[in-house]
């Protein structure tokens, strides 16, 4: 089994347990259920923002513990004050050290789109995401069939949530891209089998993604130059987590990168 297989097997058990403890009827009583979510797509297309989706995560299977002590409130609020376009919050506990409360905390302190980053395998998680205050959900093509993406995506859209479909190659794109279910397409530059990272993955897939979808690049981005290079081939969203979280003050690392990006843009305009 790959690490992804292990994660998904554990996630299915975890979701079954949560459903027995907190049924959908309780989720539907959440304060956030009737609220109108913010559009991740719209925020990424804004020219006055950086396009950065700043991620809060404590650890990962490939890197181990990244930052166990950064507070959610200060970090996420700092990300937005630094000029990020949106937030991504890991809610997986077993493998990424996250929790649902991280997202609800981020929601209380930020008026911006929040992506719930988790391994979605069941409709329950879509409803749960809305109940936590998320605006968008991640669907990973490597672990879902085309029919599952369509079903989960339609449910998300019925709740006002946008769907970021994560792909790694042409095959995943072809089998799972449904206009009725997906608003944004994210290319993960990390190989899920050996954890190697190459930004060439985003470069190679850029022209394969239809223009009606907002293109997001994920993993391996570290510099303003990386963002500029991928923006040049059509990407408008840049999901960055480890680059910021490995610093003691992730929000300051984000601010420094945004300043570099703006300085580069200013030079380009001269």
Q: Which residues are catalytic?
A: 55, 57, 117, 166, 188, 218-219
Question: 3-state DSSP call for residue 127?
Answer: helix
Are 145 and 175 in contact by the 8 Å Cβ rule? The answer is yes
Q: Look-up: residue for tokens 């997001």?
A: 216
CB atoms within 10 A of CB 187: 28
DSSP H helical segments within the chain, as ranges? Answer: 3-21, 24-27, 40-44, 72-82, 100-109, 123-132, 146-158, 170-176, 200-205, 224-231, 242-245, 250-269
Q: CA 193 from chain center: how many Å?
A: 20
End-to-end CA distance of the chain: 53
Q: Look-up: residue for tokens 């859209």?
A: 157
> Which residue from 214, 197, 194, 198 is spatially nearest to 206, judged by alpha carbons?
214
| Contacts for 25 with CB less than 8 Å, ≥ 6 apart | none
DSSP 193: T
Are 132 and 32 in contact by the 8 Å Cβ rule? The answer is yes
């Amino acid at each position: 089994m790959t690490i992804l297989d292990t994660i998904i097997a554990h996630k299915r058990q975890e979701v079954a347990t949560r459903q027995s403890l907190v049924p959908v009827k309780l989720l539907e009583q959440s304060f956030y259920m009737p609220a109108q979510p913010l559009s991740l797509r719209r925020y990424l297309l804004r020219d006055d923002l950086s396009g950065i989706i700043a991620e809060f995560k404590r650890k990962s299977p490939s890197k181990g513990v990244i930052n166990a002590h950064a507070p959610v409130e200060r970090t996420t609020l700092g990300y937005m004050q630094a000029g990020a376009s949106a937030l991504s919050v890991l809610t997986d506990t077993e493998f990424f050290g996250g929790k649902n409360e991280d997202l609800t905390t981020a929601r209380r302190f930020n008026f911006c789109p929040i992506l719930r980053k988790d391994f979605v395998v069941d409709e329950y998680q879509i409803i749960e995401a809305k109940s936590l205050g998320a605006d968008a959900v991640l669907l990973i093509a490597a672990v879902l069939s085309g029919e599952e993406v369509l079903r989960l995506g339609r449910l998300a859209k019925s709740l006002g949530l946008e769907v970021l479909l994560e792909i790694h190659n042409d095959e995943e794109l072809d089998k799972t891209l449904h206009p009725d279910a997906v608003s944004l397409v994210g290319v993960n530059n990390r190989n899920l089998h050996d954890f190697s990272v190459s930004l060439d993955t985003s470069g190679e897939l850029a022209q394969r993604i239809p223009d009606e979808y907002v293109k997001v690049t994920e993993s391996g981005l570290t510099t303003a130059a990386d963002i500029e290079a991928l923006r040049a081939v059509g990407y408008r969203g840049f999901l960055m987590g480890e680059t910021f979280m490995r610093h003691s003050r992730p929000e300051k690392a984000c601010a420094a990168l945004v300043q570099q990006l703006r300085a580069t843009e200013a030079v380009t305009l001269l």
